[in-house]
Amino acid sequence: MDLALHSFHIPVMGTGFTADTPVRVAPFGISSVISLVDDLLLEHIREHYCKANSLQYEPIPRKAEDGRAKRITAYLDLVHDLVYSKLDSIRSQPFFEGTEKDRYFRLLPDTSSLKQAWNAMLAMPKGAERQIVEDELTARMDAGSIDVNIMVKLDRLNHDSKGHVLPEEFSDAKAALRGYANSKLNSCIVFSAGINQGLYNYMSQFRDFYRDSMGDIKKRIVIKVSDFRSAMIQGRFLARKGIEVHEFRIESGLNCGGHAFASNGALLASILKEVREKRTSLVEQFKPLVEKYYKSMGWDLAPLEKNREPLVTVQGGIGTHGEDLRMRDYFGMDRTGWASPFLLVPEATAVDAVTRDQLVRATEKDLYLSDASPLGVPFNNLRHSGSEEWHMRKAAAGNPGSPCPKGFLVSNKEFSDHDVCTASHFYQKRKLAEIESTEVSEDTKDTLRRKVLEKACICDHLGNSALINLGEARDGWTSPQAICPGPGIAWFNKVYTLDEMIDHIYGRRTSLVPSERPHMFVKEMEMTVDWLEKQIGQWDSTPEALKNFRDWAQNIEDGMAYCIEISREKPYPDENLASIVPGVAKERARLALLLEQIQKNSEELVKT
């Protein structure tokens, strides 16, 4: 059952851009997601908000016992208290035009039963009967969900003050999970970037992830997935632990912000079609496994008698009201996620003024899929960001890389017995020296150098923009700012109010993007063909890779054929379906050339 007041949510963005978004928007019923990657950043922001609200601040030192979990719990509890304090303040206001209470109801979607009841109340004459209705409406006001996100691949083992490896429950992901589990939040935790079986097993230690005597779950599970198969695999694994998935969150592999996890060429439209056709089987697959677990624990099965179909939502590249309707009305998605456009909404996200201005002026050429992430995963990036300029100046001065102040992305043992980050000064200095000693051409050396120097200190730099925005840091050399917008932000060209962006999403105003903006499906197919082209260019001469290229190309073709079918449908308002046919024609031509290259590679492989 979906109790959300709005038909969209604001997904996690970076480590800091949505760190305090619930404080900003949850009192108006809007749900959003906080990243739990950087507990040190959250501690800094907690200190800021405690001081700003005249609350006592007790610091939790970096080396405190179980400090990561404690910092996360303390921050989430503070956010909870700030949100509900603000909501109580709004509730106490009169139903007058221009108040925040009036704004709360105006922002709701027109289809909301709560908004319809509010509209009916406004038409009533003053008096006792209207007062009863006003009191009922006030009681129904609630905050948006204060959700959190764990990137499950980031599960570094930690050490105590003497350098000894701590037990697994103190790893980054498990400590973050514990920090959330111990918080007072009644909300959702989003797991992204794959499967972490150890983390999922650890979750079973916390009763809040299971139904209570009334059948309610205080802390609900959201799994970010790339397709239906991924949803089934992860859903079954969790169900065996008695854990129900509250929501499957589908995201475009490439047409998104942050890290991009390229799939096997399957386009979002094809993925949504399969989910639409098969989603009823989700309950059928999971319910018996959950029941078996509850019986094994001796728990009351009565709350399980009522089936709950997991919600299915989608995000990644949505940019118009019509595309939003395509997701919800045509594909039957329960909600949509709108991320990057909110980077241009100061009321919603923590972005410093310089970086926000860069986003306003950014064109499609300024937004690119980079190799900046030390994780080795493609990373959506902005050219000439503060972080990029900082790294370039450091390299030019002969001191490449970062001092690695936080170490969340350490993963390389090439020059050390312990993991280091490939964006660190330690690694880059040694790797560049190794390249210099290699007997290859100067052109090859230049290519290898660029690959080394492209890695950026994103785990630290992604948080600096939020600190600058809050007045806790200054931009420039000491706090370089990284940012990771999706490519669709190129079509938004100014700073917006929260009301303007929400009215855009709900189609209550003239569209904020020009009518010639290509459909989100067109952008995704372009990015997917780009990715295939890059992989072919890096072919390692193995037959397995060639087979993957062909499979990928076939999946792209199947997806484009389905997009052509969609293009024949009646467009929703502000939906540029007309851009799909020429978009497919262009990408099919490129794909044909790539298939020729694949065939040529195949023939050369046979000869050798």
- Mean pLDDT over residues 280-307, rounded? 83
pLDDT band at 160 (very low <50, low <70, confident <90, very high): confident
Instruction: Give yes or no for residue 22 having a pLDDT over 50.
Output: yes
What the block records as the tokens of 252 is: 């475009």
Average pLDDT, the chain: 92
Q: Which of 274-278, 297-301, 563-567 has the highest mean pLDDT?
A: 563-567
pLDDT band at 305 (very low <50, low <70, confident <90, very high): low
Task: Quote the CA–CA distance of 381 and 169 in Å, as a whole number.
Answer: 33
On whether the CB atoms of residues 372 and 461 are closer than 8 A, the answer is no
Q: pLDDT tens across 435-473, in order?
A: 999 988 999 999 999 999 999 999 899 999 999 999 999
The predicted model scores a pTM of 0.94
The H helix count followed by the E strand count for the chain is: 21, 10
Instruction: Give yes or no for residue 489 having a pLDDT over 90.
Output: yes
- Mean pLDDT over residues 327-336, rounded? 97
What the block records as the tokens of 268 is: 């979002």
Ranges of each domain in the chain: 364-482, 518-608
On whether the CB atoms of residues 356 and 346 are closer than 8 A, the answer is yes
Instruction: Give yes or no for residue 564 having a pLDDT over 80.
Output: yes
Burial 80-96 (b: 16+ CB within 10 A, else e): bebbbebbeebbeeebe
Confidence at residue 313, expressed as pLDDT on a 0 to 100 scale: 97
CB atoms near residue 321 (< 10 Å) = 21
Confidence at residue 1, expressed as pLDDT on a 0 to 100 scale: 47
CA-angle at 514, arms to 508 and 517, nearest 5°: 115
What the block records as the tokens of 289 is: 């496994």
Q: pLDDT tens across 131-146, in order?
A: 999 999 999 999 999 9
Tell which wins on pLDDT, 118 or 160: 118
- Written as one letter, the residue type at 125 is P
Tell which wins on pLDDT, 263 or 24: 24
Q: pLDDT tens across 347-365, in order?
A: 999 999 999 999 999 999 9
Q: pLDDT tens across 416-441, in order?
A: 888 899 999 999 999 999 999 998 89
Instruction: Give yes or no for residue 214 having a pLDDT over 80.
Output: yes
Q: What whole-number percentage of the chain has pLDDT above 90?
A: 76
Q: Which residues pair with 151 in a beta bridge?
A: 192
Instruction: Give yes or no for residue 287 having a pLDDT over 90.
Output: no
Confidence at residue 387, expressed as pLDDT on a 0 to 100 scale: 93
